[in-house]
């Protein structure tokens, strides 16, 4: 191979590496943005639950979990949506 062919190949390989890095960064950014949306949704829903049922804010995490499981299970058994 001539020197110019080797140089071209090297340059293309560097471009490929750069594009792969950029792709990895974009994928990470997309994941980060999706996480932010998910966290915001969870926070908003948690705030709504506390607003509608203020007594739940005094429960520990495990008590809250048990309450929600019991409530949701009884709704599904009783035909709730």
**What are 53-72's pLDDT values in tens digits?**
999 989 999 999 999 999 88
- Find the angle CA(15)-CA(16)-CA(18) to the nearest 5 degrees: 65
Q: Which residues of 19-57 are buried (b: 16+ CB within 10 A; e: fewer)?
A: eeeeeeeeeeeeeeeeeeeeeeeeeeeeeeeeeeeeeee
Number of separate domains in the chain: 1
Residue 52 has a pLDDT of: 93
Q: Which residues constitute the domain of residue 17? A: 3-77
Say yes or no to pLDDT of 73 above 70.
yes
**What are 19-44's pLDDT values in tens digits?**
999 999 999 999 999 999 999 999 99
Give the number of other CB atoms < 10 A from CB of residue 62. 8
């Amino acid at each position: 191979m001539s020197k110019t062919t080797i140089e071209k190949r090297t340059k293309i390989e560097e471009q490929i590496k750069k594009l792969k890095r950029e792709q990895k960064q974009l994928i990470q950014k997309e994941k980060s943005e999706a996480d932010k949306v998910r966290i915001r949704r969870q926070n908003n829903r948690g705030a709504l639950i506390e607003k509608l049922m203020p007594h739940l804010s005094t429960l520990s995490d495990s008590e809250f979990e048990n309450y929600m499981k019991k409530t949701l299970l009884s709704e599904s058994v009783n035909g709730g949506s």
